[in-house]
Amino acid sequence: MTDTRAEIRLPTQELRDDLPFFTKVLKMRLDSIYPADDPEVAVFSGHGLRIRIQKGAPEGPGMIRILTDDPDGFAGGARHLTAPNGTRVEIDDLNPPLVLPPTQHAFVVRRLADQAPWVIGRAGMHYRDLVPSRLGGAIIASHIRIPDGGPVPDMVHFHKVGFQLIFCIKGWVDVVYEDQGDAIRLQAGDCFIQPPEIRHRVLHASDGIEVIEIGVPAEHVTEIDHVMTLPTPDLRPDREWQGQKFVYNQGDKSPWAPFRIPGFAARDTTINANTKGVASVMVARPDGTAPWTTHHGDILFTFVMAGAMTLEGQGKDPFRLAPGDAFVIPPGMATRYAATTPDLELLEVSLPGNPETIVL
């Protein structure tokens, strides 16, 4: 078996000044040093890094970031250091707490007919940004499609999020999740809740699959897990990740009940219960005439999956909405869902779940 190593080379003017800094302050191991009588090269390793410090090397001194679960106990609690050779060092949290930015509330209407063409993102997937302002970084909502299906070149990974929804509106996709058994096929009308940091891998997708993906906050880290193999041997449907359970909701098996807005019926995806009120995800359709209402939640996002309606808002011009359109209603704003067609079907995502609704 071939032994291969990689090093990062950094310059120095006086190697003897760097030795105590890298070994004692940064707690790295000295692996080699030469020549013995007047050392010009020293190789250090540690924290997943291998560094070659060499007298007169032409590179700049660079920066090293060290991530630790005890930043206050590392390097005497210093967060910013400079080595004798000029290399800057940042000490940071290995697992920093998730920061949820305060929502910058706004009334948003995003119509498919008004938009520029789809943007081609990673792995050839096509993206539409449904909330361009991200409400100040509080949420990202994407309409994603894969024109050509087949095997997906994915790896086992996880997301550092507060909430994440995958709702299939067309086609199907096979995904395997940690502690949830074999691959699960998500079809049109179905949804997954991916709890924070659950390991998963996308396997196959149909031609023309379309999903709505919601993530909170808008900017979140995706990490690859190079150790775990999926599927895992144990089936643990009641396991929680940071207080949330994995949810696989099948649309054709969910009953309909009155919606928070009179004049509509809805099917509950059970996400409010399984996230302990972090969010609720409902599919709503008209069964009467809707009144003017306001809500007192934080984020209320809606996507039109089928049919048409007119969105009336206090102080706003009415918007005639069709499939592919999306809107966000800020708390306290009076709105009405008017002139609905019988086949109207809405996907509503609210954070926190089941917001208080006032009929005006």
Model pLDDT for residues 124-150, shown as the tens digit of each residue? 678 899 999 999 999 999 999 988 889
In this structure, what token pair is assigned to residue 311?
Answer: 């969105």
Provide CATH 3.10.180.10 ranges for the chain. Answer: 8-93
Q: Is the dihedral of CA 330, 298, 145, 283 positive or negative?
A: negative
19: left (phi over 0), alpha (psi -120 to 50) or beta: alpha
Predicted confidence at residue 123, as pLDDT, reads 61
> 128 near 142, Cβ under 8 Å?
yes
Predicted confidence at residue 165, as pLDDT, reads 96
In this structure, what token pair is assigned to residue 102?
Answer: 């305060």
The highest-level CATH class for domain 8-93 is alpha beta
pTM of the shown model: 0.88
> 347 near 305, Cβ under 8 Å?
yes
Backbone φ and ψ for 163, nearest 5 degrees, come out as -160, 140
Secondary structure letter of residue 274 according to DSSP:
H
CA distance 23 to 19: 6
Predicted confidence at residue 99, as pLDDT, reads 86
Predicted confidence at residue 122, as pLDDT, reads 63
> 144 near 152, Cβ under 8 Å?
no
Domain covering 253-359: architecture: Sandwich (2.60)
Helical H runs in the chain?
15-20, 271-274
Provide CATH 2.60.120.10 ranges for the chain. Answer: 121-249, 253-359
CA distance 179 to 271: 18
Q: Residues in the chain with pLDDT < 50?
A: none
Give residue for tokens 């449904």.
130
CATH number for 121-249 (one of 2.60.120.10, 2.60.120.260, 1.10.540.10, 3.30.413.10): it is 2.60.120.10
